[in-house]
Structure 1
Amino acid sequence: MRIFFVVVLLAHSHFYVQAQSGITLSQELRSHDEIKTRNYYALHIMQAKQKDVLKGLEKRLESKTKKEVTVTKNVLNIEKVVYKELGTDSFNISVEVRELENATLCYFAIDLDSVPVGAISHPELDIKLNKYLKRFGLAMYLDAIDDEMDQEQKLLKSIEKELRSTYNESDKSENKIKQNQVEIELTKEELEVNKSNRKSKLTEIEAQKLTVASSSGTSAENQETEKQKLSNLEGEYKKLKSEYKKMQGKTSNLEHEIRNLELKKEKSDMHAETVKQRLADQNLVIEKVKDKQFQAENDLNAIN
């Protein structure tokens, strides 16, 4: 006895629908060669991609047989094949695999001695076929969920990396602020020392001016020596003033940098809160995918 799966594209009507997590299996009466109407098994697999279903179905149809599937575009055919789970009859199978939005739809049709197989005409065989097709559909759905989980896990790792990077940026800003604050304190201490040194230097300059004035009656060489001392003191004072201005500029620059770093840190902290929320949301997404996996695995295991 032979069973023949046929693909049909035209008008149809539903016999019944069986739905499980991620898949829907129904039987439909669809027009064939514009004259006849026959029964088809329609397997709707959520999330599955056409190319994956074609590959998976080819492997499934050839599994534990010595037959080969021929593929023409999106249609698979295998002839005179026997599956132990379906009995001892030989099958001719033709399947059309259609790609839908976020799903794939497979059309199967079965002939037994040129008679279309269905729930009414072949009730016992129909039960076996339903299990066979649902196992395949759930397996493909689980593969699709695994792919989804991989993508969601990659996204989770990307968000975690972004959060670590944001925390690092905030920490870098905070550490630099602390370094600048220490540098400012040290510079302020140096400014106070500079003030004290300049004050002392002014006292020395005034005293040296008196010395220069009182040396007018001495030798020219002595007068020149005292004048040189005064010039040196005035040069040292000028250098102290220049250093003071530089230190003031340094302090001002450090304070300006601190303000910018504080703004940068604030932005990093705000961004971190946003990323943390995205991370929490992504964990919820992954939990939902896990729930789908768990339900689909239970449904698959429940098929006797």
Structure 2
Amino acid sequence: MDKTFDSVNARTINPELGKPLRSAVTDKSSHMDHWKYAIKVFESMKFVNKTNGKTTIPPCIKNWIISLKSFIYLWLQLKKRNFKYFLPRQVNQDSLECFFGSVRSHGVRNINPDAYQFVCSFKTLLINNFTSLKSAGNCEHDDTDGTLDNLKQFIESGTHCVLKEPEENNIIIDIPMLDLPHTFEVCDFTDMTIGYISGYLACTVLKENKFCRLCKNVLISNVKNNNLIRVRDYTTKSLLYPSESFQKIIYQMLYTTKYILPSIDSESIGKQLILLFEINIDFTIKCPIHDIKYLIYDKFKNFFLFTYIKHINHILNGLDRSNHSKSTDILKTA
């Protein structure tokens, strides 16, 4: 059984130490011989019920036979198309297993949902995982990009911004002055996502200022019209709805970040980012007690750089499976 598991879990071309079958399937490997032998062994296996003495063949044995025959067929088809090797571990149903496991665990222990409960759990899990990816347990990481991939689409699309020519006497840093659009045309999902992030940033600012009432008046809205925040707010108290003016500032900050991405590896990138905000953002909200402008700039800077650099590290470590264009800034930086 150990060898059989090795034969279907290969993720490298060359065999791992002491595991000759944990390698890619090739013309010279022994996978085909082992699979044919394993099929015969599985076909000969029977389980005896100790109570009544009846022999049965459980589904796991039948499914092993089907899987191994499928691997043999798949490799023969790949060979006909001039494939030199085949990594069986790439053929798995872990994403499906993760999904059904999440449905079962939704609502503590929902192991036998009816059709209506299944649809409701599916919708809730779908919305929840737009904003946070949970551990995959013992399953392979899938190819989802998460919500921030939509933020990237928002940043790189929309109204084109006209850059003014930099002044010749710019001595230290070339910070562009941008003509920001007055409105941002985005889909409803992107708008809800930006609202969710705006609410998170507002919460961090209010914690810093000990939930100042005046800060809260300009950062938070009493109108609860963000469906993403509503479904994520399990306690109805922990998440905040951003004010329209504060969310507009976050839109502007996200839009301007694309002009700093090509120089993300330069020195004092955080200072450059804040200076870019200072020059271009129309900061319309104020608190007479606290300097919330620079606090918001600093919180957003930390959030943005952490997320962007984490994405770069995922690319460098081979954990990011997105199909990036070779011309994208993040791929160039990595």
State the TM-score, normalized to the length of structure 2: 0.23
Q: Which of the two has higher C-alpha Rg?
A: 1
The structure with higher relative contact order (CA 8 Å, sep 6+) is: 1
State the TM-score, normalized to the length of structure 1: 0.25
